[in-house]
A and B are shown apart, each in its own frame.
Chain A
Amino acid sequence: MQALHISGLTKTYKGEVQALKGIDLTVEQGDFFALLGPNGAGKSTTIGVISALVNKSSGQVSVFGHDIDTELEAAKSCIGLVPQEFNFNQFETVLQIVVNQAGYYGVPRAIAKERAKKYLTQLDLWEKRNSPARTLSGGMKRRLMIARSLMHEPKLLILDEPTAGVDIEIRRSMWQFLEEINKQGVTIILTTHYLEEAEMLCRNIAIIDKGVIVENTTIKALLSKLNIETFILDLAAEVPTIQLTGVEFRINGTELEIDVAKEDGLNQVFNQLTEQGIQVMSMRNKANRLEELFVRLVESGRGEE
């Protein structure tokens, strides 16, 4: 079963800004799917169309087989949305916000209260249930939006940069929570700027840039494409110039960053450094592999224009 199927989706905003130029995308039921792209690429517009916040210009979208043109209400019932911006009434209490949201989906008040307790407790917000939303910290507000999106127990959860501005500890606990929800059978689509997040959580990935999908594959397949590794070498002292052939490099004080093709190995780099009398004290692998790949994909896509 396909949780989401998008074909030929376009959106042109008033003022002729074409945000989406024909998106085709399929997300299978049970998947943990990442949608990546730079700012203004069309991620939020895509999510907006799926969740009925943005009117599409053309194309087709169906959620668990419900076409949004003909069965919009059925499609909406399947989706839980955690938007990028805080969009709750700042004057209402945490409990009012989540219970009301359940009510909009037709969940009776008694059941809504039980679920509120369950999700607010799981997301560490139960103690704050009677506090007005405006008094919560940034991390709490993000978690409140996650709790709210789950109140009608959706089959597809869409999170638009859910961990933006959240400290690492809370981010990790949110990741754990989302993995748990996914294990329980909820399909998750996530957009994020933290590529480490996509690498850790997601199985499949689509990269969108300037309104088109430039890559749509599994995270594993994507990472295997990466045949260049980046290393950071800590030098004993600053050097005025370095000459290296066969590798890309950048120098920043005593740090030398080199991009090495896997088949080339590191010996030739060390030989050249030794010849120039440059002493290397330590070396480490640069972690954000996906980030690098992402930049390359987006840049190569743009180069073809």
Chain B
Amino acid sequence: MNAQVFTALQTIWIKECTRFLRIWVQTLVPPAITMSLYFVIFGNLIGKRIGDMGGFSYMEFIVPGLIMMSIITNSYANVSSSFFSAKFQRNIEELLVSPVPTWVIIMGFVGGGVARGLLIGIIVTTVSLFFVDVQIHNFGIIFITLLLTSTLFATAGLINGIFAKTFDDISVVPTFILTPLTYLGGVFYSLSLLPEFWQMVSKANPIVYMVNGFRYGFLGVSDVNYLFSLGLLVGFNAILFSVAYYLLNKGTGIRA
């Protein structure tokens, strides 16, 4: 990467980070509060009555899933809203007229989403320490899963932003697709609790692999093979990056 391209990438990334840090009340505080409520209600109050899940206390079981849920939601929302807002205010034109390669635009925006995802991950993990002693089975797997998942959903958010024509369009996918898939993705329960048929259906949900891969990094237990999870993440990332590249290069939604 030459110095010019690196400067452009750095500029987009810093701009994206500055954006979510400037509006921290909207971006950083809500997940901390929501997750604290999840920990108190599901983990502490209801969790005590549920007993063990997968050989761990219910609280220990849901912590990795909840961290992952926050990361998915925030990485996605950061890029979809930032990119759409750039289209809406037309400042995306600042990038379109300058000699920034398409892949740098993608990496800059996605990098911003990943930064927010990671920061939220740290915040939620810190909050969880007030409720449970978080154990770590394999830090490497935690980090890789987190990075790949965050990148994947940030890229998905970018594609959403590219297609979006109104502010409604950037809330449709999170509301009707992302939230149901996350809640049904094994955040709150082990798949082994489900009847065999629903276990099979659940395995078509990609978020199951991300939550379980991440949980494996913390607890060393998983409903699915963690290597398969990592492979799946790499594959999905490659596909979504290619889609985003194709759309931006063609000028979908941004060039007449």
Please report A residues at the B interface, Cβ cutoff 8 Å.
13, 48, 51-55, 72-74, 76-77, 79, 81, 83, 85-92, 96, 100-101, 103-109, 148, 152
Is B97 in contact with chain A by the CB < 8 A criterion?
Answer: yes
Please report B residues at the A interface, Cβ cutoff 8 Å.
3-5, 7-8, 10-12, 15, 18, 22, 85-86, 89-91, 93-101, 251, 255-256
Kindly report which residue of chain B lies nearest to residue A90, judged by CB atoms.
Answer: B89
A52 touching B90, Cβ below 8 Å: no
Contact of A106 among B5, B18, B94 (CB under 8 A): B5
The A interface, classified by DSSP as helix, strand, loop or mixed, is loop
Q: How far is the CA of A86 from the CA of B85 in the complex (A)?
A: 14
Q: How far is the CA of A10 from the CA of B102 in the complex (A)?
A: 25
B94 touching A87, Cβ below 8 Å: yes
With A55-B256, A106-B8: A83-B95 Cβ-Cβ less than 8 Å? no
Residues of A within 8 A of B85 (CB): 89
A100 touching B15, Cβ below 8 Å: yes
A73 touching B101, Cβ below 8 Å: yes
A88 touching B94, Cβ below 8 Å: yes
Name 5 extra pairs, CB < 8 A, besides A52-B255, A53-B255, A85-B90.
A72-B99, A73-B99, A96-B18, A103-B10, A152-B98
A87 touching B91, Cβ below 8 Å: yes
With A104-B98, A104-B100: A87-B89 Cβ-Cβ less than 8 Å? yes
B3 touching A106, Cβ below 8 Å: yes
Q: Chain A nearest CB: distance from B249 CB in Å?
A: 11
Q: Chain A nearest CB: distance from B138 CB in Å?
A: 38
Residues of B within 8 A of A106 (CB): 3-5, 7-8, 99
Kindly report which residue of chain B lies nearest to residue A101, judged by CB atoms.
Answer: B94
Residues of A within 8 A of B93 (CB): 53, 83, 87
Residues of B within 8 A of A100 (CB): 11, 15, 94
Q: How far is the CA of A76 from the CA of B4 in the complex (A)?
A: 14
B11 touching A88, Cβ below 8 Å: no
A55 touching B255, Cβ below 8 Å: yes
A76 touching B94, Cβ below 8 Å: no
19 pairs across A/B with beta carbons < 8 Å?
Answer: A51-B97, A52-B255, A55-B256, A73-B101, A76-B97, A81-B97, A83-B93, A88-B89, A88-B94, A90-B89, A96-B18, A101-B98, A104-B98, A104-B100, A105-B99, A106-B4, A108-B7, A109-B7, A148-B94
B89 touching A55, Cβ below 8 Å: no
B91 touching A105, Cβ below 8 Å: no
Residues of B within 8 A of A103 (CB): 7-8, 10-12
Q: Which of A87, A104, A148 has the most C-beta atoms of chain B within 10 angstroms of its own C-beta?
A: A104
Q: Chain B nearest CB: distance from A89 CB in Å?
A: 4
By Cβ-Cβ distance, the 6 closest A-B pairs, closest first, are A103-B11, A106-B4, A73-B99, A104-B98, A87-B90, A76-B99
Contact of A52 among B15, B22, B86, B97 (CB under 8 A): B97
With A53-B255, A90-B89: A74-B7 Cβ-Cβ less than 8 Å? no
Q: Chain B nearest CB: distance from A159 CB in Å?
A: 13
B99 touching A74, Cβ below 8 Å: yes
Q: Chain B nearest CB: distance from A130 CB in Å?
A: 13
With A104-B94, A104-B95: A54-B256 Cβ-Cβ less than 8 Å? yes
Q: Chain B nearest CB: distance from A231 CB in Å?
A: 45
Q: How far is the CA of A105 from the CA of B11 in the complex (A)?
A: 10
With A89-B86, A103-B10: A53-B97 Cβ-Cβ less than 8 Å? yes
A13 touching B256, Cβ below 8 Å: yes
Residues of B within 8 A of A77 (CB): 99
Q: How far is the CA of A72 from the CA of B249 in the complex (A)?
A: 12
Q: How far is the CA of A66 from the CA of B205 in the complex (A)?
A: 49
A91 touching B4, Cβ below 8 Å: no
Residues of A within 8 A of B5 (CB): 106
Kindly report which residue of chain A lies nearest to residue B3, judged by CB atoms.
Answer: A106
Q: How far is the CA of A181 from the CA of B256 in the complex (A)?
A: 31
Residues of A within 8 A of B7 (CB): 103, 106-109
B96 touching A53, Cβ below 8 Å: yes
Kindly report which residue of chain B lies nearest to residue A54, judged by CB atoms.
Answer: B256
With A51-B97, A55-B256, A73-B99: A104-B89 Cβ-Cβ less than 8 Å? no
